[in-house]
Chains A and B, each alone.
Chain A
Amino acid sequence: MDLTAKKVLEINLTDQTAVAKTYKEFNKYIGGVGLGLKLMESHFDKEPIVLSVGPFNGFFPYASKTSIVLNNDGVIEDIYIGGNLSLRIKYAGLDAIVIYGKSEQEVILDIQNTNVVFKDGITDILSLGLPGKRGDIFLEDGIRTKVSLNGYFTTPEDYFEHELRAKKLKGIVITGTEIAKPVNFDKYQQLYKSILIRKEDVSVLEASYPSCANCPMGCGKSKVGEIGGNVLLHSLVACQYADKIYSDLGIVFSCLNVLGYDYTHEDIELLPSLIEESLKRLA
């Protein structure tokens, strides 16, 4: 895992091609919504959907959301969905997936790490990907067509659904098979456990609903994702209900440091203004 650059899988639905690219210059955008907005800006003419994760996804508890940045009829929207998707993207070795163009026929993307297979839209989505290592998103028809992530989680509003329909993208399956090894593993384990036990600092009630991966809460709030909010949390990408934990810069730097990132206080302080500048250019 290269911590000095962002790895982005770019998928062109029109000609059914995909390529993984590395962007060192985007490292200062940290991840999640910061990276998502920058990728929206750099790919704007292609009308992309940008899925992105942050440095903590897959590594620390309560950091389970995937950021989705899209252009909703001229308004750039950022939404966040739960489930296991962020871990699958991270374990695929990716920081973001940019999907652009439009398929002629309904299509399902079967992604394994950086390899993409374009499947016919009638393919049984549950037959794709590797057991125990896959996550899926698909458009589920009903009274109201909604995205279903892992068969349970969904999105706030209908922006994502609208974009998927417009691109004739019926579903996405992501399998991640990469392994990471933080350099100071013992310190990483200690930090992980010290965060995991802070359930009382998470502002949802513990329950028995399907839970986001790497979160013990099983809360009823995660089913319908999030929209907008704290840009640092959503660049990391932590759950908004864990803001007491991940708004603490001491914790943030401890986590970044133990994973091997070399972000400075200035990098973190600069992030909101970088995001603001991206938004201004996109407006």
Chain B
Amino acid sequence: MTKILKATYMENCIGCELCVLETQRQLKKVGLEGAPIRIFRKRKEKSEYLEFGIEIDPRISSLDIEKVKNICPRAVFELVEDNGETSGFNS
């Protein structure tokens, strides 16, 4: 069965965007435009700290998602079996 990239441990994300830049390098470009992963920042309620949201475009499956998973310094991602439920953004 096909594996998909899932941001299982999103709460561990530190917003470094290494995953975003890795996907772009695999697409032979540097920048944020058209990236299959987007990181969003917002401040935690009543806290000085940030929390991050991650959106993954399903088209990321055409890339080497193992490399994307492995570049994350906080082990946010997992490769999971695609059970066919994923459509649109996977976050």
Contacts and interface: CB of A to CB of B under 8 A. Distances in A.
Contacts of A132: 20, 32, 35, 38-40, 55
Given A152-B48, A185-B25, A206-B73, 10 more contacts: A84-B17, A151-B41, A177-B32, A179-B30, A210-B49, A210-B50, A211-B15, A211-B16, A218-B14, A218-B74
Given A179-B33, A218-B74, A208 B14 contact: yes
Contacts of A133: 32-33, 38
**A87, A126, A179 interface centre (most CB from chain B within 10 Å):** A179
B33 A178 contact: yes
Contacts of A206: 73
A208 B74 contact: yes
B88 interface: no
Nearest to B25: A189
Contact of A213 (B15, B33, B73, B74): B15
Interface string B13-36: 011111011000100111111110
B14 A91 contact: no
Interface of B: 12, 14-18, 20-21, 25, 28-35, 38-43, 48-50, 52, 55, 71, 73-74
A58 to B, nearest CB: 6
Interface residues of A, number: 36
A157 to B, nearest CB: 19
A91 B38 CA distance: 15
A132 B34 CA distance: 10
A180 B32 contact: no
Interface string A182-195: 10010001001000
Contact of A91 (B16, B32, B40, B55): B32
A87 B73 contact: no
Contact of A216 (B18, B34, B48): B18
Contact of A178 (B31, B38, B39): B31
A185 B28 contact: yes
Contact of B16 (A126, A176, A212): A212
A150 interface: yes
Give the top 9 A-B pairs by smallest Cβ distance, nearest first: A132-B38, A216-B73, A179-B31, A218-B14, A211-B16, A211-B14, A151-B43, A180-B30, A133-B32
